Amino acid sequence: MEIDTQVLFKKMEEELNLARETSDETERKIHLGALKVLAEVLLTDKTGKKAAVPEDKIWEKMTGTRPPQIQKEKSEKMNFDDGANGESLFDF
């Protein structure tokens, strides 16, 4: 059974509006939980697996900028006079 995405979007809008309008924290969490489930339905492909959404794309949509690039530090092996130069504490 194919679910129309527009129906899901409409239901998501309803749940979001209900979450905004309530002053009860428990009720707000219930509506936000329903919103999360509906979003997961949209993100699930036809085989039942979650569709992979690159985190860079999500960051860009949320902030309008490219995500910061994290540089990996190169680690060099430490050489000791006694010949112990392993990466583990158990390397002798």
Domain annotation covers residue 34? yes
Domain annotation covers residue 54? yes
pLDDT at 1 over 60: no
Domain annotation covers residue 76? no
Domain span including residue 35: 5-63
pLDDT in tens, 30-52: 999 999 999 988 888 666 666 66
For 59, half-sphere exposure in the C-beta direction (CA atoms, 13 angstrom radius) is 8
The Cα–Cα gap between 90 and 71 comes to 29
Domain annotation covers residue 82? no
The Cα–Cα gap between 65 and 57 comes to 10
User: How many domains in the chain?
Assistant: 1
The Cα–Cα gap between 36 and 19 comes to 12
Q: Which amino acid makes up residue 49?
A: K
pTM of the model: 0.52
Domain annotation covers residue 89? no
pLDDT band with cut points at 50, 70 and 90 for residue 64? confident
Of 66 and 79, more confident = 66
